[in-house]
Amino acid sequence: MSKFSQQQEAWMKIVVIGTGFAGIGMAVRLKQAGYDDFVVLERAADVGGTWRDNTYPGCRCDVPSHLYSFSFAPNPDWSSTFSPQPEIEDYLRKVTDLYGVRPHIRFNHAVESAHWEDGRWRIATSQGEFTADILLSGMGPLAEPSYPELPGIEDFEGDVFHSARWDHDLDLAGRKVAVIGTGASAIQFVPAIQPEVEELHLFQRTPPWVMPRPDRKITPLEKSIYRRFPLAQKAVRAGIYWARESMVLGFAKLPAIMRQAQKVAEKHLAHQIRDPKLRAELTPDFTLGCKRVLISDDYYPAVAQPNVDVVTDGIAEVTRTGIVTTEGVKHEVDTIIYGTGFKVTDLPVMDLVHGRDGVSLRDAWSDGMEAHLGTAVAGFPNFFMLIGPNTGLGHSSMVFMIESQIAYILDALRTMDRKGLQQVEVRREVQRAFVDGVRASMRNTVWTRGGCSSWYLDAQGRNTTLWPSFTFRFRRLTRRFKVAEYLAM
């Protein structure tokens, strides 16, 4: 019996979930390819994805602006070489309107479930039901905040929030703040709040490697040149792209290269942290690149200020008025801010999407996330993912990967139309061969042999998040949809 009511449903050929870079990029390309019978379901009231939700002080991208944008929609007006969050969110809004996809978006439509039934997808949302021939997920891995399990947190009498759900109504001036985590978000907001708080207790489980940030303002002359001569900006983008691609040599091909890069990070740390004890606490014990490499020029100076206490002991419990470490030291605080990242190996889409025989993605991935080209999953007909397993990057722009997947999906749709196919489902043996190849390529990379435990790895210690090679190789693999790799009917 169908899990859906018998009320009339809205039918669309294609349903896209999410309005971050993946969803908006997919919508633009669908429209350009002549597909008008599609909707984009968005749980929030506006577009933007992670760049709408993450509004913490100091939030910005750590990939250069000219590369962190759509190839078909260059922005000559970036203010700096590394874009701040409000500019990226505004960029996505402008692309949405410029390419006419806003009418296709259904805002405040949170997807509650999607089931493959009777040869089509039935999607339940918070505001009604949809039926579609094709389901495309643009739900990225940086969507749902990850919260650590802290004994006693429910008894804490102060304020608690995650950096991805920043409480802008709370004035931090004069407060005693505990920050839990020292990842990519924390190293951005810690320098922003440090001057205003009375005390900042930074709970660090593992120190990150931090490289200098080569950021600068983009001059009015440069912007004028980009507007008048788009090829100039395209050339700059290409230069950034190939410079970033060269980093793969250290990450995945010749790990010895990382030792030279690590010397740069060590020098950066030594230059900005003079206190030997604090410097030792902030020095990682793993190879640079094993965890996400962070970039900042103001994190270390902020941490060195007198009102900041770096806590390297584990957390034993939270009391009504503070945090007690495993060494029995109590830190009196009135505010706790989680800088603990996202559920990148426990994606929300895993519980929402159900394929053949009602099998959820979570069940299908009980032995780890996997998908052919990070895009198609065996047992899930007419379903394609953007930013799926093993498409993440440690060196370059995810927008490049997204555009590669979009081109692959569009070729799949054109192939289905041309051949009159109603269903395509990747063959399990094809998916297995691809995943085995990725895992073989991952064995000697810094991500698996760098001596650390990172969010790149799943519970079995496998890297199911990153792409272990050059992005141009991924683009080559996704250039054409090969119908022979699919069960087609």
Chain segment 183-212, per-residue pLDDT in tens: 999 999 999 999 999 999 999 999 999 999
Fold of 145-208+293-341: FAD/NAD(P)-binding domain (3.50.50)
Kindly tell me if the per-residue pLDDT of 8 is higher than 60.
no
pLDDT classification of 32: cutoffs 50, 70, 90: very high
Nearest residue to 467 (alpha-carbon basis) of 397, 382, 416: 397
pLDDT in tens, 250-260: 998 887 788 88
pLDDT in tens, 381-414: 999 999 999 999 989 999 999 999 999 999 999 9
**DSSP state letter for 102:** G
Nearest residue to 187 (alpha-carbon basis) of 250, 249, 269: 269
CA distance 10 to 182: 45
Residue spans of the domains in the chain: they are 10-143+343-488, 145-208+293-341
- In order of 375, 378, 407, 427, 482, the CA distances from 418 in angstroms are 21, 23, 16, 21, 13
Average of per-residue pLDDT across 418-439: 97
Could you tell me the pTM of the whole model? 0.95
pLDDT classification of 231: cutoffs 50, 70, 90: very high
Nearest residue to 67 (alpha-carbon basis) of 83, 55, 86, 85: 83
pLDDT classification of 9: cutoffs 50, 70, 90: low
Fold of 10-143+343-488: FAD/NAD(P)-binding domain (3.50.50)
Nearest residue to 43 (alpha-carbon basis) of 166, 135, 138: 138
Whether 10-143+343-488 shares its CATH topology with 145-208+293-341 is answered yes
Query: Which of 18-32, 179-193, 334-348, 427-441 is least confident?
Result: 334-348
Q: Which residue has the higher pLDDT, 154 or 4?
A: 154
What's residue 113's pLDDT? 97
CA distance 69 to 237: 10
CA distance 211 to 193: 21
Average pLDDT, the chain: 94
- In order of 114, 355, 423, 440, the CA distances from 383 in angstroms are 10, 9, 10, 26
Query: Which of 302-311, 375-384, 441-450, 453-462 is least confident?
Result: 453-462
CA 329 to chain CA mean position, Å = 35
Q: Which residue has the higher pLDDT, 143 or 102?
A: 102
pLDDT classification of 460: cutoffs 50, 70, 90: confident
Give 40's contacts (C-beta < 8 A, 6+ positions apart).
15, 16, 17, 18, 19, 23, 24, 26, 27, 101, 104, 105, 106, 138
Token code pair at residue 176: 């005693």
CA 165 to chain CA mean position, Å = 16
